[in-house]
C-alpha cells in the first residue's frame, strides 16, 4: 500500500469476507477496518504502541513506544488511519487527543493539557518550568542546554525556557515514529485538507461522538409496516433494549452498524430502521413440521449495516409475542455481535 498513488488510496474500499454472504455498502468495510485496528494498536500483539496506563489497560489510550524502530509499520498505521477516515468508517481507536493535535500541527498546546493525557506528572513539570522564576529554572535545568535555530547551544534561562520545554516535549513524544505515522496519513490526504479543523473535531470524525444518547436512538428509529412506534412488538423491543447494560447496548450497535461508535451528530444520526422478519411459510427453519408459533420462537433477529450504501442500519425483528421471548432471542443474537456479517 505504501507504493500506491494517492488517487488509488482515495478509491472507495470494497470488502468481501471469505465464505460470508454480503455486499459491501459500508458496514463490511467498517467491520474490516475495526478488526484490523484491534490487532494493529494492541500493545500485546505488536511493538509499535504502549499502554499509557498499565493499571487500566481496558480504558487506557495507547501511544508510540520509544524503543520501536519499525517506521514502516508506523507509516502503514497512519495510512490505514487516514484510509478509514476517507471511507467514513468510524472505528474505535484508543489514541489520545494529542495525536489529532499533532496531525493538525496544533499541539501540544502551551498549557500541556494534551500532553497530560500521556503523562500528567511530566506535563505539570513542563508547565512549572514555563512559569518558574530564574532561580527555579536554574535549579531544575542546571547544566542543561538548549539548541537555538542557528545551531548554537546555550545555557537554559527564563528567556529561552519555552524553546527548551518545546524541545523536551517533542523528544518525549517520540518524533520519529509519529513522523512516519503522519507521513502515512498524508499519503491519503493533502496536509492542508484539515487546516480548519480543531483536534476535537478531527477526533469526532474518526471515532465518533463520546456520548451515548439511547433515547435519541429510539426517537430517530424508523419502521417498516406493520411496525410503528406503538406496535406491541416494538414497545417490547425498546423495553428490553433499555434494560440492557451499556456493554450489551454497544454490542447492539456493532450488530446493526458494524461499529460501537456514535456517528457525528449523535445516535440520532445512526439511521436505524426496524423491519419485520416474517415467519417462513415452509419447514426450512426446522427438519420437523411445526406451527407458526413454534417457527416464531426459532427465528433470530438479524442485523444489516449494508443498506443504502451504509447510511441505513437495519434490524430485522421477528414479531415476538412475549417479553421473555424477546429478551432471550435478542440476547442470544447479540452474543454474535462480533461476526463480520450478521444474519441468522
Q: What percent of the chain has pLDDT over 70?
A: 88
Instruction: Give the pLDDT of residue 19.
Output: 64
What's the CA gap between 164 and 128, in Å, rounded?
13
Per the residue annotation, which of 68, 140, 290, 306 is the catalytic one? 306
Chain centroid, CA 182 distance in Å: 18
Domain boundaries, the chain: 6-108+174-207, 119-172, 214-334
Instruction: Give the pLDDT of residue 181.
Output: 95
Please give the average per-residue pLDDT across 94-101, as a whole number.
Answer: 90
Q: Do domains 6-108+174-207 and 214-334 have the same CATH topology?
A: no
Res 322 pLDDT > 60: yes
**Judging by beta carbons within 10 Å of its beta carbon (0-12, 13-18, 19+), is residue 246 exposed, middle or buried?**
exposed
Instruction: Give the pLDDT of residue 53.
Output: 87
Annotated active-site residue 306? The verdict is: yes
Q: Note the pLDDT tens digit of each residue in 294-317.
A: 677 788 999 876 554 445 789 999
Instruction: Give the pLDDT of residue 337.
Output: 65
Instruction: Give the pLDDT of residue 237.
Output: 98
**Judging by beta carbons within 10 Å of its beta carbon (0-12, 13-18, 19+), is residue 339 exposed, middle or buried?**
middle
Instruction: Give the pLDDT of residue 115.
Output: 82
Q: 288 pLDDT band (50/70/90 cuts)?
A: low
Closest CA to 314 of 258, 256, 259: 256
What's the CA gap between 3 and 307, in Å, rounded?
33
Instruction: Give the pLDDT of residue 340.
Output: 40
What's the CA gap between 265 and 209, in Å, rounded?
7
Q: Name 303's Cβ contacts closer than 8 Å, sequence gap at least 6.
A: 255, 256, 257, 313, 314, 315, 316, 333, 342
pTM above 0.75, yes or no: no
Span of 47-51, 52-56, 227-231, 333-337 with lowest mean pLDDT: 333-337
Q: Note the pLDDT tens digit of each residue in 1-24.
A: 888 888 888 888 877 666 665 555
**Domain spanning 214-334, CATH architecture:** 2-Layer Sandwich (3.30)
Helix, strand, coil shares of the chain as percentages rounded to 5?
45, 10, 45
Instruction: Give the pLDDT of residue 296.
Output: 76
What's the CA gap between 81 and 30, in Å, rounded?
12
Closest CA to 161 of 202, 131, 122, 206: 131
Highest mean pLDDT among 136-150, 205-219, 255-269, 326-340: 205-219
Instruction: Give the pLDDT of residue 29.
Output: 76
Please give the average per-residue pLDDT across 49-58, as a whole number.
Answer: 87
What's the CA gap between 288 and 177, in Å, rounded?
61
Span of 74-83, 104-113, 258-267 with lowest mean pLDDT: 104-113
DSSP string for 273-294? EEEEEPPPSSSTT-SS---HHH
Helix (H, G, I), strand (E, B) or coil at 223: strand
Please give the average per-residue pLDDT across 137-160, as a whole number.
Answer: 87
Q: Say which DSSP state 89 is in.
A: -
Instruction: Give the pLDDT of residue 293.
Output: 66
Please give the average per-residue pLDDT across 235-262, as a whole number.
Answer: 91
What's the CA gap between 211 and 234, in Å, rounded?
24
Q: 273 pLDDT band (50/70/90 cuts)?
A: very high
CATH 1.10.3470.10 fits 6-108+174-207, yes or no: no
Q: 342 pLDDT band (50/70/90 cuts)?
A: very low
Which cell numbers in the block locate residue 126? 513542563
Highest mean pLDDT among 153-162, 167-176, 256-265, 322-331: 322-331
What's the CA gap between 218 and 235, in Å, rounded?
10
Amino acid at each position: 500500500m505504501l507504493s500506491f498513488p494517492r488517487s488509488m488510496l482515495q478509491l472507495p474500499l470494497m470488502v468481501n469476507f471469505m465464505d460470508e454472504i454480503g455486499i459491501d455498502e459500508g458496514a463490511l468495510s467498517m467491520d474490516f477496518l475495526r478488526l484490523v485496528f484491534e490487532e494493529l494498536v494492541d500493545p500485546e500483539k505488536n511493538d509499535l504502541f504502549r499502554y499509557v496506563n498499565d493499571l487500566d489497560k481496558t480504558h487506557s489510550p495507547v501511544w508510540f513506544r520509544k524503543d520501536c524502530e519499525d517506521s514502516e509499520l508506523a507509516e502503514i498505521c497512519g495510512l490505514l488511519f487516514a484510509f478509514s477516515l476517507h471511507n467514513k468508517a468510524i472505528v474505535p481507536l484508543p489514541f489520545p487527543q494529542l495525536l489529532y493535535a499533532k496531525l493538525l500541527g496544533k499541539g501540544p498546546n502551551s498549557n500541556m493539557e494534551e500532553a497530560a493525557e500521556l503523562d500528567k506528572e511530566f506535563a505539570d513539570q513542563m508547565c512549572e518550568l514555563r512559569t518558574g522564576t530564574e532561580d527555579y529554572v536554574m535549579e531544575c535545568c542546571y547544566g542543561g542546554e538548549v539548541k537555538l535555530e542557528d545551531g548554537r547551544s546555550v545555557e537554559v534561562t527564563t528567556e529561552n525556557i519555552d524553546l527548551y520545554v518545546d524541545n523536551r516535549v517533542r523528544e518525549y513524544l517520540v518524533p520519529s515514529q509519529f513522523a512516519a505515522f503522519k507521513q502515512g496519513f498524508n499519503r491519503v490526504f493533502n496536509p492542508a485538507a484539515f487546516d480548519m479543523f480543531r483536534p476535537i473535531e478531527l477526533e469526532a470524525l474518526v471515532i465518533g461522538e463520546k456520548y451515548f444518547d439511547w433515547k435519541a436512538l429510539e426517537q430517530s428509529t424508523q419502521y417498516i409496516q406493520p411496525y410503528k412506534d406503538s406496535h406491541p412488538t416494538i414497545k417490547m423491543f425498546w423495553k428490553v433494549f433499555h434494560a440492557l447494560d451499556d456493554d450489551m447496548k454497544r454490542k447492539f450497535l456493532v450488530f446493526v452498524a458494524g461499529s460501537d461508535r456514535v456517528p457525528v451528530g449523535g445516535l440520532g444520526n445512526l439511521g436505524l430502521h426496524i423491519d419485520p422478519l416474517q415467519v417462513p411459510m415452509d419447514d426450512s427453519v426446522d427438519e420437523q413440521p411445526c406451527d407458526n408459533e413454534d417457527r416464531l420462537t426459532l427465528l433470530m433477529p438479524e442485523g444489516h449495516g449494508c443498506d443504502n450504501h451504509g447510511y441505513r442500519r437495519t434490524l430485522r425483528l421477528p414479531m415476538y409475542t412475549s417479553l421473555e421471548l424477546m429478551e432471550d432471542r435478542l440476547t442470544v443474537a447479540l452474543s454474535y455481535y462480533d461476526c463480520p456479517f450478521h444474519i441468522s
